[in-house]
Amino acid sequence: MHEHGHEHGHDHGDHHHGRELPQTELLTAALESLLVEKGLLSSDAIDRIVERYEKDVGPMIGARVVARAWADPAFKQRLLSTPASALAELGIRMDNLVVVENTPAIHNAVVCTLCSCYPWQVLGLSPAWYKDLAYRSRMVIEPRAVLREFRLELDESVEVRVWDSSAEQRYMVLPARPAGTEGLTEDELAALVSRDAMIGVAKVSAPALARREGA
C-alpha cells in the first residue's frame, strides 16, 4: 500500500522546488568557485563543512527528536499528532513536517517523486541517492526491491507505506526502538539513530553490548 503526500498529477510549476533547484545548485557552485579562486576558502574546508552538516549536525537534530519520542510516550503522541508543537518543545521551528511511525506491522519510507523535497531542518543535507531519478521513481513502484538494495529485508507480512513529500508537506520516519536499549539515556539512544533510518531505508540496531546481553 502506498501513501502519498501529494497527488502525482500536480503541475510541476506548483512544486516550485523542481524548478528552483538547478538554479540554486548553479549559484552555489559559482560562489564556491569564486571563494576558492580568491583564496578565501579551500576545497578541503568546503568538503569538511558539507560532511559535518550531512552526517553530524542535521541528522543529530532528528535523532534527538527520535530519542525523546522513545523515552517519553507523551511526547511521542504529541509528535505524531501535532508535530509542529512537539518540535517547538525542542526549539525546532517546522510547520510542514509529518512524522510517521514504524511498527512491527508497518514500515514507512519517504521519497519525493517530483524533485527532492526534504526535511533538512531535522535531517541535514539530503543524500545524493535521495535526489536520484531511479530512487524517486522506483521507491513508489517497487519499494521492497529498493529497500533490499539498501540491505533492508522486510517480512512479507509487513506493510510498506511510501510517503511522497512536497514543498508544502514533508515526512520523517519515527523508527522502531530496538530491543535491549531500555537502560540507555536519551543521548545514547540518539547516537544509534541514522539519517537513513529517519528516511526509512534502514532500521535502528541496538549496540553490540546490548545485543550480547539480550542473547
Q: Which active-site residues does the annotation give?
A: 112, 115-117
| Cβ-Cβ contacts under 8 Å for 195 (sequence gap 6 or more) | 55, 58, 59, 62, 123, 124, 127
| Cβ-Cβ contacts under 8 Å for 182 (sequence gap 6 or more) | none
What is the number of other CB atoms lying within 10 angstroms of the CB of residue 35? Answer: 15
Nearest-angstrom CA–CA distance, 22 and 175: 32
User: How far, in Å, are 15, 84, 155, 164 from residue 6 at the CA level?
Assistant: 10, 19, 28, 6
For residue 177 the three cell numbers come to 526502538
Question: Of the candidates 71, 102, 113, which has an alpha carbon nearest to the alpha carbon of residue 172?
Answer: 102
Cα-to-chain-centroid distance, residue 191: 15
